[in-house]
Amino acid sequence: MALVRARNQAQNAANHQPTAPSFLLPQAYPEGSPTHPTYPAGHAAQIAAEVTVMKGLFDENFPITDGDDPALVPNADGTGLDVFQPAPGEPPIVLRLGHELNKLAANVALGRSVAGVHFRIDYSESMLLGEYVGLGILQEQARSYNQARRTTTVTRDAPFFFELTLFSGVKVRILADGTIVPV
């Protein structure tokens, strides 16, 4: 808190402003906060919709890392990367596409909160809004999918569908008629 106060006083003095003690947190942008409402957070809703569609189109369980391409973490001084070492007795970590997409969405959405443009509630609610939009896009795609062009893996006994895990952890399937059902 003392550092925030000292910085604010120095900045105010440099700008010929009153130097009364202030503990206001600095704004990341020199022009200040935007004049638009904080909710919905556009970046959060957009990335959530995009990630939801990608999770529906691709296999969420696809492994990104394996023994030949291990997970990496920053080294102790932050100048490089080290191979992630699990705790003794724990299996090696495998990064999966769905989890990495979820982390990407969270990082993009939370970045605007860190910048002081949004609040955490904007992040969480806008992620749900974006997910809802993404599900709607997948429903539309499922209903318009040309069943006559089915691949050999899609048969009458196993009709076309999208399957994905929501941000809440619930796994759903979007059927060819656009119906969303829990798996």
Phi, psi angles (nearest 5°) of residue 163: -135, 135
DSSP, collapsed to helix, strand or coil, labels residue 68 as: coil
Of 97, 116, 103, 118, nearest to 43 by C-alpha is 118
Check if the beta carbon of residue 23 is closer than 8 Å to that of residue 8. yes
Q: Active site residue: 16, 36, 99, 118, which one?
A: 36
Q: Look up 36 and say whether it is catalytic.
A: yes
Q: From CA 8, how far away is CA 52, in angstroms rounded?
A: 41
Q: Which residues are catalytic?
A: 36, 43
